[in-house]
Structure 1
Amino acid sequence: MPAVIRTPIDNSGRLQFADDLFARRHRGLGSPIANQWIWRLESPYDPDRLRHIATGLAGGGLSRRLHRAKLPGARDLWTNADREPSIELYDDTLPAAEIADWLQERHGDHLDPHEGLTYRLTAINLDDGTSVVSLLLAHAVGDGGSVLDAVCRASRGEPLRLPPVPASGWDRLRAEAADSRAQWRAVRDWATARRRAKQDGTAARATKAPRVYPRTTPNPDPHAWRMPRMIAEFDTETMTKVAAEHGGSTNAWFINVVADLLVRIDHVPVDRGDVPVSLPMSDFQPGDVRANSTRVAMVEVPRDVLDRRDLAEIKRLSKAAYIRLGQAGPGLVPVPLAMMQMLPDAVLDKLPQPPAAACMASNLPQLPDEYRYAMGEDVRLVAGLAGYQNATAQDAYDVGGGIISWLIQSGPRTTLNLVAAEPDRVPDLAFLKSLVVEELGSWGLTVEVW
């Protein structure tokens, strides 16, 4: 088997390609994208503990400020923002039945990496004696790997420090000139690898036929539509048992579930039977200062495999997808990402927006204890929601729709977390809840929906 190809870690603090795309959204090129991590506690929140965590976050790698490069071709730079902790502890008590609406409102809270406002920690007590904590984070400054690391560091009081504020004058220009040259070398290396890929026949793997969508009934009121987001919790042991009975792992079960949901809403290409599911995989390493280090594998599940619920076959297919991702070299990338990153906003804004994945399925099977118990020792579970902030129906149409899903295991309880960018196929939250409860119920799971 060919060796896994590892790209050297860039710890310069310069924005990675994904950081750049997410940051541009905060400048107006589309709706900003934010991740929301949620802790459900069995008792009222501890304000002193949350202030301690917020202080740790304020001095760490998630609290970043973006410095725009002045020299064409050079990448922008991250440094620590060193702002006051962003925390809001609500004094009033929220009815437990309104928790979903409260979380939806928090997901829309303003974030701006250019000003160093990159996260918001909020908490509120519920009328059933429990509480909920929300950590909203601009995706530009942190993916799953970096947020896990940052919260654990905040718990220990060991924040990650980024490279210093950029030098001024000629020192800054020299540093940016060096980065610009490196970017152009990356474009040249891509072109060389691409030519070799064409010669040995692997370049064809870099292109795919455009996605074709079935016709749908238009949303009756697209101007009022907002992206539905939901959390469903259930027993971890039962889920694990169900997965084993069908010959697979919980990850294979998760892939089957989200692929089923794509089929149920008729969001599958009409020209083939396979259902595409994107599988994010963290490449984060200790001491990593990159904001986004996630890579994405793609598994395409045949419809007959879904119909049989053959989790052993899905496990085999997903393992092969991870191997392909690990072996993928620069010659298989269809676009020189360094060159895309050089384009100014005005040019990039005129280019067609690439379609989002039909489904992003992120599985977090084991959370570190420092993360799980960061907000309180009596944590019931951890949940997570991702997606476009305050997105309109047109925003969803622009990216081609799709769903974003996380599966998060917190000891005895697991959450399936879903966001649907489907104005026509998933018109509202009630529809999404019904869809998910029916799907999970068909696997024998008893579900509690937030």
Structure 2
Amino acid sequence: MPQPEMLPSLPPASLGARPAPFAPDPTNRLTYDDEVFLRSATVIGVPVVAQTAWRFPTEIPVEAVQDLVDELAKGPLNRLVVRPKVIGARSRWVPATTAEPVRLHPDRIKPDQVVGWLDSTADGVPFDPVKGPLWAYFMAYTTDGGTVVAYNASHIVCDGGMKLGAVIAAVRRQHLPRLPASEAEREVTRKDDRRDARTMARAAVRGLREARKAGKVPELEAQSSEKRPLPGPQADDDVVHEVANASADCPVEEWNAAAERAGGTSNALQVAISVEVLLEAGIVRPGEPVKMSLPVSMRGQGDLRSNATSGISIAVETEVRDGVGRVTDLAHIRERSKREFSALFKGTRPDPIAHIAPLAQMIPDKLAKPLLKGVVTPLGLASNLGRPDPDFVAPFGVAADSIVFRALALGATRGELRRMRGGVTSWWCEVGDTCTFGIRALDPDAVPDSERLKEIVTTVYGRWGLVPTFW
């Protein structure tokens, strides 16, 4: 059991956040990773919301869900952003004084309406980093006697480690520390912001010096978002696009058997299936390696950062077999990811972002906006959450049948998605005898809707001897 002050180090359902360039900050200032998601919402206009959904076999009382919400409101998740008074200073966190009550859907929904209902919760509570809220709970009863609970949270306020850790602590009634009271409870003046701006300026100068010393970081030789051609203007660029999502259950025993047959692990199979979805969709070319990003939580003892995520990238080998693109060798995925993770934790893997992060965080929004037009999302990203803590699986005293993790890019247009040149983002977790693979496809042309994505996942699963049961 984690100590009361410990946020469990769990791999996050993330969108490829970079490592934080600083150690956990004793102040309430936002980290570079926090700022990335803040600017995605306020500058680019595409807020990123992480959604966790539990499916329970019985009816869960509304009061039980509200009790959890009340506990979460006492912890580190309940915070808001205050923008700086001085250019160059970082935004800061303050505790939120209220939390949104759980929202119960007025009617029972059919099991095949669950995903549609989950999608609709994205519009249920507009998240605002300054005014709040930044997280909310929703629930609905199903016609077959079950319950679905959705936990939506802005990525500005939490990554997977913070999100899961806060829930586990709330279930156990452990009072985690909130924010450093010395700053959170007093008026922060222009003098404080000027001091922080000077600190950031010194860090930026040091970072630029280190960047010159480090030189160019070797580029990963694989297909990636950066190498995908930038599409030209199209007539429907301004149309808001509903990103394709699919959530598939299957027996853990069958998943593990498929992984073992190919010389790998459950993690490696998730990566392979994600790449094969890219292949089947025509987003990448068969016979060439594909760059995949694998995030991992770096959260430690007493770490109050909203986002504390790092990650690695590996080249996944593909081939043409029986006329289709495949990933048949899982051993190389396991070996390459193990090597890269080892380098990450030893500190021997160069990070091209860390040196320039202080300077990037200092740039005002008005100047940042044109610079962010060329930002791309990962071609492939796979977050593996393994088997979550029992208190997360049964936060209301009843174990969930299945848990799915998803990310929602709200309000993105087809043109914006085309310019970001993303591919797929996937999550995997294991609950009881069931494992759930959640995936979303960011290419509005290759995968125009969720039905097409389900067809692709079904085809890819079949090649591994698996049969998906979709939410």
State whether TM-score is above 0.5. Answer: yes
1:69 aligned partner: 84
Q: Is the 8 A contact 1:86 1:121 kept in 2?
A: yes
Mapping of 1:248-263 within 5 angstroms?
A: 248-263=264-279
Deviation at 1:261, TM superposition (A): 1.1
2:427 aligned partner: 406
4+ residue runs of structure 1 moved beyond 4 angstroms? 165-169, 206-210, 214-222, 328-331
Range 411-420 or range 158-167, more displaced: 158-167
1:29 aligned partner: 44
Q: Is the 8 A contact 2:28 2:184 kept in 1?
A: no
Aligned to 1:385, the other structure's residue is in SS state strand
2:329 aligned partner: 310
The match for 1:247 among 263, 287, 292 is: 263
Residues 1:94 and 2:109 aligned together: yes
2:169 aligned partner: 153
Q: Is the 8 A contact 2:225 2:422 kept in 1?
A: no
Mapping of 1:327-338 within 5 angstroms?
A: 327-328=347-348, 332-333=352-353, 336-338=356-358
1:391–1:43 Cα change, 3 Å: same
Query: 1:12 and 1:194 mapped to 2: Cα distance?
Result: 26
2:209 aligned partner: 192
2:189 aligned partner: 172
Aligned to 2:107, the other structure's residue is in SS state strand
1:84 aligned partner: 99
Query: 2:377 and 2:233 mapped to 1: Cα distance?
Result: 20
For 1:331-390, what per-residue CA distance to the aligned partner results, in whole angstroms no more than 9, with x for missing partners? 743861111111111111111331111011100112011111114413112111113013
1:423 aligned partner: 444
1:124–1:210 Cα change, 3 Å: closer
Deviation at 1:417, TM superposition (A): 0.5
Residues 1:134 and 2:116 aligned together: no
Q: Is the 8 A contact 1:58 1:85 kept in 2?
A: no
2:75 aligned partner: 60
1:39 aligned partner: 54
Residues 1:342 and 2:342 aligned together: no
Residues 1:436 and 2:457 aligned together: yes
1:311–1:37 Cα change, 3 Å: same
Deviation at 1:186, TM superposition (A): 1.7
Query: 1:99 and 1:26 mapped to 2: Cα distance?
Result: 27
The match for 1:163 among 180, 183, 191 is: 180
Deviation at 1:220, TM superposition (A): 9.2
For 1:66-92, what per-residue CA distance to the aligned partner results, in whole angstroms no more than 9, with x for missing partners? 011112221111122121343112342
Query: 2:427 and 2:351 mapped to 1: Cα distance?
Result: 31
Q: Is the 8 A contact 2:88 2:364 kept in 1?
A: no
Q: Is the 8 A contact 1:213 1:269 kept in 2?
A: no
Q: Is the 8 A contact 1:406 1:416 kept in 2?
A: yes
Residues 1:382 and 2:403 aligned together: yes
Q: Is the 8 A contact 1:265 1:426 kept in 2?
A: yes
Residues 1:204 and 2:208 aligned together: no
1:134–1:258 Cα change, 3 Å: same
In structure 2, runs of 5+ residues without a counterpart are 1-19
For 1:155-183, what per-residue CA distance to the aligned partner results, in whole angstroms no more than 9, with x for missing partners? 122243112364666x6334323322221
Range 30-39 or range 401-410, more displaced: 401-410
1:406–1:18 Cα change, 3 Å: same
Query: 2:272 and 2:41 mapped to 1: Cα distance?
Result: 34
Aligned to 1:257, the other structure's residue is in SS state helix
Deviation at 1:32, TM superposition (A): 0.4
> TM-score by structure 2 length?
0.86
Q: Is the 8 A contact 1:51 1:87 kept in 2?
A: yes
2:246 aligned partner: 230
Q: Is the 8 A contact 1:214 1:266 kept in 2?
A: no
Q: Is the 8 A contact 1:39 1:375 kept in 2?
A: no
Query: 2:220 and 2:261 mapped to 1: Cα distance?
Result: 37
Aligned residues: 440
2:6 aligned partner: none
State the AA in 1 paired with 2:268: A
**How large is the RMSD of aligned CA atoms in angstroms?**
2.7
Counting aligned pairs with the same residue, the percent is 27
Query: 2:220 and 2:328 mapped to 1: Cα distance?
Result: 29
1:216–1:235 Cα change, 3 Å: farther
State the AA in 2 paired with 1:189: R
Residues 1:294 and 2:309 aligned together: yes
Q: Is the 8 A contact 1:387 1:404 kept in 2?
A: no
Q: Is the 8 A contact 1:125 1:132 kept in 2?
A: yes
Q: Is the 8 A contact 1:56 1:158 kept in 2?
A: no
Deviation at 1:227, TM superposition (A): 0.9
> TM-score by structure 1 length?
0.90
Deviation at 1:434, TM superposition (A): 0.3
Deviation at 1:141, TM superposition (A): 0.4
Query: 2:432 and 2:88 mapped to 1: Cα distance?
Result: 47
The match for 1:111 among 123, 127, 132 is: 127
State the AA in 2 paired with 1:41: F
1:7–1:344 Cα change, 3 Å: closer
In structure 1, runs of 5+ residues without a counterpart are none
1:215–1:295 Cα change, 3 Å: closer
Q: Is the 8 A contact 1:405 1:416 kept in 2?
A: yes
Aligned to 2:314, the other structure's residue is in SS state strand
State the AA in 1 paired with 2:333: I
